[in-house]
Amino acid sequence: MLKTETPAQDHALLDQYPTAELVNVLVDDQINAVNAVRAAAPRIAAAVAAAVPRMEAGGRLIYVGAGTSGRLGLLDSVELYPTFSWPHGRAVALLAGGSDAMFVAVEGAEDNVDQGAADLRAVDVSKNDVVLLIAASGGTPYVLGALRAARAVGALTIGFANNVDAPIANEADVGVTLDTGAEVISGSTRLKAGTSQKIALNTFSSALMVRLNKVHGNLMVDLKATNAKLVRRAIRLTAFATGVDEDAARAVLEQCDFHVKTAIVALSKQTNVEQARVLLENARGSVRQALAQ
């Protein structure tokens, strides 16, 4: 039996726990998710290093999963645009059962290996793409089908699994094993297995965006100011990075469609936004390198 499916012996009487103890047990078990990701950190770092050249060559991130794993992949994909201005078309999420499965479980969809391959081929996967394959069991047929189709065209495959020696981790170019063990509620991998996947995906995509010059220092300088909250954030980030007041920051941001990178370079170099854009382009999007020119 898979470790993620094995009943947890420590909590065989879970349904009889007082509510306070029940909540504490469920919360405390999440610590194991953090520990599992920490143990897998070298593999996540290897995945980031392997992915950077593909992204610099114009490749896409393609997330593939079923059930909770697929929904977590989709969540990571959609957050890249507002956080890092990563283009929508370069973050694709494939979920067993299609988009409806985001909201309602589509029973049996995860068991179709051919559909996983077909869905991946339908998005024209190429050798520059990075395919993230996520499955708690590590053997979901839909995800395995996508993995094998990705490898057939030379795409980089990164497999995330919550069981040791799982096919998805073993067959991927970079396997990331998140060994979370048995769940407090036996078999419910939406618990700490899902938490570990969320942490691992957050870590991978955030580290990748740092390597792609989407962050200056530890400031999120390539966000898309698509609402009032993000407009205010863009102003604060620009003011903090340059030392100007918020009115001065807003004035320059209004000239460059609230692109924080451009505003920081323009204010710091005391130049106009057009020249700031040129400096950034020459520096391949690195604020630090643009400021050094």
First to last CA, the chain: 59
The one catalytic residue in 5, 21, 79, 254 is 79
The one catalytic residue in 110, 183, 254, 274 is 110
Cβ–Cβ < 8 Å for 62, 131: yes
Alpha helices in the chain (DSSP H): 19-29, 31-39, 41-56, 67-84, 113-122, 141-152, 167-171, 192-211, 228-242, 246-253, 260-269, 273-282, 287-292
| Backbone angle region of 216, left / alpha / beta, with phi > 0 → left and psi within -120 to 50 → alpha | beta
* Closest by CA position to 266, among listed 109, 167, 256: 256
**Is 171 a known active-site residue?**
no
User: Rounded CA gap, 63 and 133, in Å?
Assistant: 6
The three-point CA angle 204-206-209 to 5° equals: 110
**Is 79 a known active-site residue?**
yes
User: Rounded CA gap, 195 and 63, in Å?
Assistant: 17
The catalytic residue positions are 79, 110
